[in-house]
Chains A and B, each alone.
Chain A
Amino acid sequence: MISVTLTVNRVHHEAAVEENITLLEFLREVLHLTGAKEGCGVGECGTCVVLVDGSPVNSCLVLMGDADGHEVETIEGLAGDDGLNALQAAFVAAGAIQCGYCTPAMVLAAEALLRANPQPSPSEIGEALGGVLCRCGAYSKVLDAVSTAAAKGVRP
């Protein structure tokens, strides 16, 4: 067992965990934050993307020891008390959601992009979201949603 300290969605956590558990397992099984999904477990599908210190990472590849001291954001922390954030609202409005399994990861990857680059080109959006697979093929409306949110300039 190792002891780790991290914040998840602005809440401070101190936990004793098995050395070999991943951040994804910690989020899903210990904190019961199931918005991040395990689509492959080996960093190839992107459905487990969360933000670590603001950057999108495949949480299935992060061992808890490496999450120690970091700030994690998941989809559950994105919406405020007053409702969806601008990007989430844009996903809903654009019809960018189908089965919804990849949606949390898509939104978070786009969130990280817009924080770093508020006016991305379509190819920059493609690069930023290229690691998140969507088998429903909702890409066209995902692209619309991210472009619309960027054009509105509403920073989440």
Chain B
Amino acid sequence: MTHVGDRVLRVDALEKVTGRAVFGSDMALPGMLHGAVLRSPHAHARILAIDTSRAERAPGVRTVTTGQDFPFTFGASIKDQPFLAIDRVRFVGEAVVAVAADTELQAQEALDLISVQYEEVPAVLDPWEALAQDAPLVHPDLHTYRRGGHEIVPHSNINTVARYVHGDVEGGFRQADLVFEDEFFAHALSHAAMETHAAVAQYRPADGGYTLWVSTDRPFQMRNELAAGLGLSSNQVRLIVGCVGGSFGGKNTLVAEAAAVALARRLAGRPVRVELSREEDLVASQVRMPVLIKLKTGVRRDGTLVARRAEFLWDGGAYASNAVGIAVRGPRAVFGPYRIPNVEYFSRMVYTNKEPTGSYRGYGTTQAAWACESQMDIIAHRLRIDPIVIRLRNAYEDGDPWLNGQIMHGVNARETLEVVGREIGWGRVERVPAPHLRRGKGVASMMKETATPTSSNVVIKVEQDGRVVVLCAAPEIGAGQATVLSQMAADAIGVPLGAVSIPATDTATTPFNGPVASSRTTYHVGSAIRMAGLEIRDKALALAGKVLGVEPELLDLDDGVIVERGVGPRTTLRELLTGFGAEGFSLLAEARYSSAGSPLLKADAGLEWASSIFWMIASQAVEIEVDIETGVIRVVKAAAAADVGRAVNPTGCEQQIEGGVVMGLSNALFEEFIMQSGRIENGSLADYKVATIQDLPEIVPCIVESDHPEAPFGAKGIGEPAAAATPPAIANALFDAIGVRIKDLPLTPAKVLAAIEAAKGQGVFEEMGLR
């Protein structure tokens, strides 16, 4: 009896469909107070004075606190962000003063009684302007901040510089028959998880530490960030994580947590809750990092790629958050799933006086894939090669070396392209239902690494009643982690799925894990679960052998039943353990999986750091309908394939693939922040539109499998690849439909109409229109 590979029902479905699931935003404790935050109205200003005296006397108010009272900073890669603004505000919406009161309304009303005197200073809102010699500096003290080992440019707005070179790009361009140069822009996006950022924090006067109940996808990283920010040892900060109402990379740093902790420090042990409003969540949390990408590619006439150079200018916003890694690693995805012998990228991230940026489902891949796949389409059309054919001609095959010489195993780009082509009816011209409508099809692929090396630790215990408890810090953010990890635990041990449970993450009791990010959970936590599970199984059989007087080698554990070979069922795991009665017996096992040191990471000398323990590939083909009178694009159908290694739960894979298409089309067509002098003007879901069920196209999810030699049960990852290919596939379908190319996201009706007008001037559109 096994479960891996089966369409098992999600283990969290019952509590969610009945409304019993407790999310971070549902958390309530006795005596809990409610926080509210006063935010900066200016993009860049000095704080001259803050008067909180009237607010302190307001009904129900328990404390009011400012950055002067709580002068700490935090940051995952650059310690640049204050819990509450200190002396200076750097974006509209930055937290300046926090209030705790008996009720949320009292806290909010007290905000009106606070007066802050600002002196506005010049703001930098554009990444090119941020590069200028005389640009206002968002962080004049950047060079003094504690940070990791990455490169910065002191006394400038450039907080990250990264380069990668492999081969001889100039030589490659000389060998090329044609060289393409294009500029692309990928825009800021809100994660817009339906659950906004929320946290409950409690100060512990006894040891000067804090306990927090939070919604996060990286409990240990957030714990460490908090401890480092406050100068505490990491065990003085305890994080408890319930159900997370969506993350998409957004719930990785201190957002609601920062104000909650600053308030808790003054409340002598009373818990305080801070929940962001939707407007705060949109304008004052963090967003996908916008980027300008210059892409130069040399190709032979047969479509073979010979060289590519990319330059990235990332618009990082006011604080670096965890975006440094995006600027460093994200550009790798601009080379796509393609063999290119000569490559180079130069990537810079700048501070600007805007909402901070950070990880967003794909960690830079969605932006890089937008440029890569748009240009692949440009190249294909120019060379008159079918867009799928040109991709197949260049696509990695299993065993090919990546751009650092690492031999890639378990990659199946070919099948992802072939299957989406078949499913979309590639090459078939669809009937146009009305004269003002045009149909088109487009394809795009992507490839992404996973953060390497990282580790996962797991403890498994089997209770007296035979139930299996898996302790691992892998919060269920909605992507189905709890289900696939339970399936793997059940199979490694040999128990029914229903016997396995994964309690909520609590950093005080759960062993360390890397983040639930980079699509790494199934592979890394799964590997540790498999190791610990097999140990539990061995221990159970040894124990059974002793009790039954049988050689353990003759015993097997299947579906919770201990079977003697040639004899049949002898006892159950439950009977075995309850047999110890009041004396008691818990089976225990621990395991650690780390990708560090894996022979799979071997690469060219000095480049092993760029290897990935597995590679994820996805392709999508979409059919769109565009209204040439209104410029509105509708996605009619999407065929979306992901190479997942082995599907632990095919339904779960489909959920990710289908959800990825919906998010991708929403990102590409509807979502855009409207900025005015650094202020986001559309801070509501009425004005920042995300896709509804009425925007749903027909989606054909296609699971492609491949052989990875080290993957637990063969499984790689899927969360991030699912959303990256949709925007370029839509843009490529737009070109197919009406012959216009849009290189800056989003693909709004106004841009489509403007592109049609521009194309008319060049006679292109008439030609296409006659088709």
Cβ A134 vs Cβ B660 within 8 A: no
Tell me the A residues contacting B by CB distance below 8 Å. Answer: 20, 28, 33-42, 44-45, 47, 74-76, 78-79, 84, 88, 91-93, 95, 97-104, 107, 125-127, 129-143
**Which residue of the partner chain, among A42, A79, A99, contacts B194 with CB atoms under 8 Å?**
A99
For the complex of A and B, list the 8 residue pairs with the smallest distance between their C-beta atoms, beginning with the closest. A35-B19, A99-B478, A137-B662, A100-B16, A101-B245, A137-B659, A75-B19, A40-B278
Chain A residues, CB < 8 A from B765: none
Cβ B478 vs Cβ A100 within 8 A: yes
B676-688 interface code vs A (CB 8 A; 1 in, 0 out): 0000000011100
Dominant SS among interface residues on chain A: loop
Closest A residue, CB atoms, query B691: A137
B363 at the interface (CB under 8 A from A): no
- Min Cβ gap B609→A in Å is 34
Q: How many Å lie between the Cα of A59 and that of B20 in the bound state?
A: 18
Q: How many Å lie between the Cα of A130 and that of B689 in the bound state?
A: 13
B650-664 interface code vs A (CB 8 A; 1 in, 0 out): 011011001111110
- Min Cβ gap B484→A in Å is 13
Closest A residue, CB atoms, query B658: A140
Cβ B248 vs Cβ A135 within 8 A: yes
**Which residue of the partner chain, among A37, A44, A129, A137, contacts B684 with CB atoms under 8 Å?**
A44
Chain A residues, CB < 8 A from B245: 37, 99-101
Cβ A102 vs Cβ B18 within 8 A: no
B14 at the interface (CB under 8 A from A): yes
Chain B residues, CB < 8 A from A138: 655, 658-659
Dominant SS among interface residues on chain B: loop
CB contact under 8 A between A139 and B243, given known A75-B18, A88-B18, A97-B16: no
Given contacts A37-B194, A84-B14, A141-B655, 14 further A-B contacts (CB under 8 A): A20-B105, A42-B684, A44-B684, A99-B194, A99-B245, A99-B246, A100-B16, A101-B23, A102-B194, A127-B694, A136-B246, A138-B659, A139-B693, A141-B654
- Min Cβ gap A5→B in Å is 24
Which of B5-13, B79-87, B465-473, B495-503 makes up part of the contact surface?
A: B5-13
Q: How many Å lie between the Cα of A129 and that of B281 in the bound state?
A: 24
B692 at the interface (CB under 8 A from A): yes
Quick one: which of B257-311 are within 8 Å of A by CB? Answer: 277-278
Q: How many Å lie between the Cα of A132 and that of B685 in the bound state?
A: 11
Chain A residues, CB < 8 A from B692: 129-133, 139
Cβ B246 vs Cβ A130 within 8 A: no
- Min Cβ gap A82→B in Å is 13
Cβ A99 vs Cβ B693 within 8 A: no
A-B contact pairs, 22 of them (CB 8 A): A37-B194, A39-B194, A41-B277, A44-B685, A44-B686, A91-B17, A95-B10, A98-B480, A99-B476, A100-B12, A100-B243, A100-B478, A101-B23, A102-B194, A104-B19, A127-B694, A131-B692, A132-B692, A135-B193, A135-B663, A139-B691, A141-B658
- Min Cβ gap B323→A in Å is 21
- Min Cβ gap B216→A in Å is 13
Q: How many Å lie between the Cα of A139 and that of B635 in the bound state?
A: 14
CB contact under 8 A between A39 and B278, given known A130-B692, A135-B690, A140-B696: yes
Output the residue of A33, A39, A142 with the most chain B CB within 10 A: A39
Chain A residues, CB < 8 A from B699: 140
Closest B residue, CB atoms, query A104: B19
**Which residue of the partner chain, among B194, B652, B693, contacts A101 with CB atoms under 8 Å?**
B194
Cβ A98 vs Cβ B18 within 8 A: no
Output the residue of B19, B480, B655, B684 with the most chain A CB within 10 A: B19
Chain B residues, CB < 8 A from A39: 194-196, 278, 685
Cβ A40 vs Cβ B685 within 8 A: yes
Chain B residues, CB < 8 A from A136: 246, 478, 655, 659
Cβ A139 vs Cβ B696 within 8 A: yes
Closest A residue, CB atoms, query B722: A137
Give the tally of cross-chain contacts (CB within 8 A).
Answer: 168
Quick one: which of B638-658 are within 8 Å of A by CB? Answer: 651-652, 654-655, 658
Cβ A95 vs Cβ B23 within 8 A: no
- Min Cβ gap B702→A in Å is 14
B591 at the interface (CB under 8 A from A): no
CB contact under 8 A between A88 and B17, given known A42-B684, A99-B245, A138-B659: yes
Cβ A99 vs Cβ B14 within 8 A: no
Q: How many Å lie between the Cα of A128 and that of B686 in the bound state?
A: 18
Closest B residue, CB atoms, query A34: B26
Cβ A38 vs Cβ B25 within 8 A: yes
Closest B residue, CB atoms, query A20: B105
Closest A residue, CB atoms, query B699: A140
Tell me the B residues contacting A by CB distance below 8 Å. Answer: 7, 9-10, 12-23, 25-26, 105, 191-196, 243-246, 248, 277-278, 476-480, 651-652, 654-655, 658-663, 666, 684-686, 690-694, 696, 699
Cβ A76 vs Cβ B23 within 8 A: no
Output the residue of B9, B18, B248, B663 with the most chain A CB within 10 A: B18
CB contact under 8 A between A103 and B16, given known A42-B278, A133-B690, A142-B693: yes
- Min Cβ gap B572→A in Å is 27
CB contact under 8 A between A45 and B660, given known A130-B694, A133-B194, A139-B693: no
Output the residue of A47, A78, A95 with the most chain B CB within 10 A: A95
Q: How many Å lie between the Cα of A138 and that of B16 in the bound state?
A: 14
Q: How many Å lie between the Cα of A130 and that of B696 in the bound state?
A: 10
Cβ A99 vs Cβ B278 within 8 A: no
- Min Cβ gap B361→A in Å is 10
Closest B residue, CB atoms, query A90: B17
Output the residue of B651, B660, B693 with the most chain A CB within 10 A: B693
- Min Cβ gap B280→A in Å is 11
CB contact under 8 A between A101 and B195, given known A40-B685, A44-B685, A130-B693: yes
Output the residue of A20, A93, A125, A135 with the most chain B CB within 10 A: A135
- Min Cβ gap B104→A in Å is 9
Closest A residue, CB atoms, query B697: A140
Closest B residue, CB atoms, query A79: B18
Chain B residues, CB < 8 A from A75: 17-19
Output the residue of A36, A42, A98, A104 with the most chain B CB within 10 A: A98
Chain B residues, CB < 8 A from A88: 17-18
Cβ B690 vs Cβ A92 within 8 A: no
Chain A residues, CB < 8 A from B196: 39
Closest A residue, CB atoms, query B27: A34
**Which residue of the partner chain, among A37, A40, A103, A140, contacts B17 with CB atoms under 8 Å?**
A103
Chain A residues, CB < 8 A from B654: 95, 141
Chain B residues, CB < 8 A from A84: 14, 17-18
Q: How many Å lie between the Cα of A84 and that of B9 in the bound state?
A: 14
Cβ A137 vs Cβ B660 within 8 A: yes
Chain A residues, CB < 8 A from B26: 28, 34
Cβ A135 vs Cβ B479 within 8 A: no
Closest B residue, CB atoms, query A84: B17
Output the residue of B194, B243, B685 with the most chain A CB within 10 A: B194
- Min Cβ gap B504→A in Å is 14
- Min Cβ gap A110→B in Å is 10
**Which residue of the partner chain, among A41, A76, A97, A137, contacts B13 with CB atoms under 8 Å?**
A97
Closest B residue, CB atoms, query A40: B278
Cβ B195 vs Cβ A40 within 8 A: no
Chain A residues, CB < 8 A from B477: 99
Closest B residue, CB atoms, query A92: B13
Chain A residues, CB < 8 A from B479: 98
Cβ A99 vs Cβ B18 within 8 A: no
Q: How many Å lie between the Cα of A155 and that of B654 in the bound state?
A: 28
- Min Cβ gap B132→A in Å is 37
**Which residue of the partner chain, among A47, A78, A137, contacts B663 with CB atoms under 8 Å?**
A137
Closest A residue, CB atoms, query B281: A40
Chain A residues, CB < 8 A from B684: 40, 42, 44
